[in-house]
Each structure stands twice: as C-alpha cells, then as structure tokens.
Structure 1
Amino acid sequence: MDKRIATLSDAVAPIKDGATIMIGGFGGSGAPIELIHALIDHGPKDLTIINNNAGNGHVGIAAMIEQNMVRKMICSFPRSADPRAFTERYLGGQIELDIVPQGTLAERIRAGGAGIPAFYTPTGYGTELAEGKHVEEFDGKHYVRERWLKADFALIKAEVGDTMGNLTYRMAARNFSPIMATAAAHTVAQVSSLVPPGGIDPEDVITPGIFVDGVTEVSNPQQEEALNRAEAVYP
C-alpha cells in the first residue's frame, strides 16, 4: 500500500506515445508544473491532453505544445492570458481542438469516473458544439447528449498526501483534480507534503487513495503565473 514514487521522472515513466492524459488545474491553480515538466523531459509524442485551457506562456502545457508532444487538446478555454504556443500550432494545422463548455467538461470527466457512458445537458444546444450529437426533448426543452471522458493517465497536484494515496487540496487548487483522479486508469499526484498513514484526518480526505496509483513529494511547487511573470521558458 506504499504508493510513494521517489522521483518525478519515475512518476511519468509509464506514459507512452499516443496516451490520453488529464492534467489538473484551473489556469495555474492546481497545475502540476513539476510533473508536466518531467513529462516533457520524458518526451512522449502524439498525446491527447484534457485540461481546462491550452496553456500559457512557455511553461507547463504550453511548453508541451511547443515541444510538439500534443496531437489534440480537449479543453474549455484555448485562448487565455498568453496562448501563443497553442494558437500558432492550431492556425498552422498542427494540433486538433475539441472545445467543451466548462460545466460539460467537468461533468464528462465526472461521468467517466462514475461509470456513466452518457448524459444530457441543455448547454450547447442550437450551436456548432451540438453538431453531430444526439438531441432529445425532455419536458419541452432540448438537451444534447454528451459522452463520458476517460483517460489513460491523470497528473494532478495536491497539498497533502499520505503514503497510501489519500489527498487533500489547497483552496481552489482542488478544481478538476478529484474527478480526474476517478476517471483515469492511472493517477499520479505531486504533493507539497507527504505524511504517513493516519497523518490526514479521514474527515479531511478529498481524494481517497483507491483512486491514486502514485504520489511524489514536491515541497516547493512552482506556480505557472509566477513563472510567466519571470518570462520563464521550459526546457
């Protein structure tokens, strides 16, 4: 039951070309920068990335895109503060985009973790986002059928984790990570503090260890916004 992983490189080593990866974060909040950069060093290609946005500046997901690792982005906000890496490649036909409304994105991920193959939502009805999708009418209102989202891997960031994989999060850094952990076949979490079993009050556990395959400690994690203000570039 000891799920500690000694290094970041060991944590991402199982990820191969063509994998689908969910990456936690809402902008920089909860983004596992160190795991992403370790993945860049590892170097798999042809990846499908599921995240709230398509990266900023030259670090994190944007750096993955600049290294030509990403074949497709599934996200809600492809244009954020500094989306140049994604924008240039999308306009050049080098990367695919599946844009999903944010609430629908969260529910598709949650459905994947809950074993629900599809659900109906009014969001997107009558727009281009509904083209080619099944539509039903319930109580006089039209709903679009959306499929679950699942992934081969989830890379997430937590505040405190124990060696059994139980996790807590810091404030808004919680965002997508708990549901992504349930919807991936293999979940790895970087944690600011790693404690022994019993070091987290059971009442405080947000993600139970059953959904986590590995934890690695990053005691002073970097923040995407701070890196971008410093005009950082990775690698």
Structure 2
Amino acid sequence: MAVVALVMIVLESQWLVRVRRLTTASMRRAVCRSGANAWPIGLVPRPGDKLSTSRRNLRPSRPVLQRGSYENWSFDLSARFLNIIGAATSAGAYSPGQEQAPAAFRRHGLAEALASRGRTIRDHGDVASFRWRPDPSQPQAMNLEAVRHACDVVASHVATAIAAQEDVLVLGGDCTVELGTVAGANAAGARIAFALKQLTALPQWRGLTITEINPAHAPDESAAFARLNEVLADALG
C-alpha cells in the first residue's frame, strides 16, 4: 500500500489550505469515499468511533466497508521513501499566485519537518511550472495545454512512485493538479480510498486565514508556513 498526498492552496471564501491524502489499496481491499469528518487514513479508529462513508461510484453489490477492513489501519511510513513532487502551476486558476506555493513550503522547511518525523525524503523539484496568464484565444478553457502538461507530468511521477511502493507528496499548485495525481494512481492500477482531511475538520487543525497564507498580507510568513509544515509532517510522518 502506498500513500499519495496532495496539498493545495484553495481560493475559497475562507482561503483554506487543503490537504488530500489518497491511499492506494489492493483489489481485495474495501474502497470508500469519505467526507471531511472521516477518520484520517493512518489513524486507527477506537471502539465506538464512527466512520463516515458514501456509496458513490461503487457497485451496489459490494459493501462500502467490510467488517474488519479498517480496524487495523496502520502503516510503517518511516520504512518507505516519501517523494516530494512540486507542481508549481496556476494554469487552471483564475489568477496567478498559486504557482508560488511549492517554493514557499520548501523555503520554510517542509522537508526538514518531515525528516524530523523519521521520513526519508526524495525531492524531485518542480516537475511542472506555469504562471497563469490571460488566454483570449480560449476564454472558456484558458491555458489548456499548460494544464494538460502539468497533469501528464504529475501523473507520470505519481505512477512511478506507486509502482515502486513508495509514497508521494504533491505540492500544488491550483486544483487541476489533483487530476494528474489521481490519474497517476489509476495508471498504476491502484484502487483508491479517499480521505479528505481539511484543516478545519479537527479543532486543532483550523483553516489558515488569508493573512497567514497570502505573502502579500502576511506579517510573518515564516511563522505561518513553519506552523503549516509541522501540521503536514504530523499528518504524513
């Protein structure tokens, strides 16, 4: 089993930092799609704890979760490489800025935070790089070729890591980077269990404010990203 995580700066009304952790499983393992209140992959539910599930995109004849399929979720993460893949692109966004996120995470010590949790890191740098610009030739699908290129190259790296039974952390980048992340898992023949872990889902992981994640407004960018990197290290360490 491999862990594939995706970090995006989401331009929503609350300007949240969102973490998606996509966990690949064997064909015999039960597959579910869970909401933000689901238990994070890697944590072991205790007796009486509830797990939110959905039957979307599953064959009706199969239970969403077989009894005993999640009680023993635990992974020896320190025994596997964690590949960091930067997707420094805002091609699929409405304005530039999101392409700066991978550099900011690295600049403020993401690799060091992960290493402090016992992870062995292999940073592949930015495999895609594009700053959003107006595209009047395709106003309904601007920068389409750049979006396609970023998805293709991210998918290739994710598939390679999964095939080697290694973990992946994709640093976006705009939301279209998620397409490449999932495509790479599919290309590797993986079944995916989704666990959406928003930082607002747990009290200690509230959403970061615009002041903390937007360098143009942040009075202390270093402290904000250092704290976020610690949160990510706790999730993936």
TM over 0.5: no
TM-score tier by shorter-chain length is 0.3 to 0.5
Larger relative contact order, structure 1 or 2 (CA cutoff 8 Å, min sep 6): 2
- TM-score, structure 2 normalization: 0.32
Higher strand share: 1
- TM-score, structure 1 normalization: 0.32
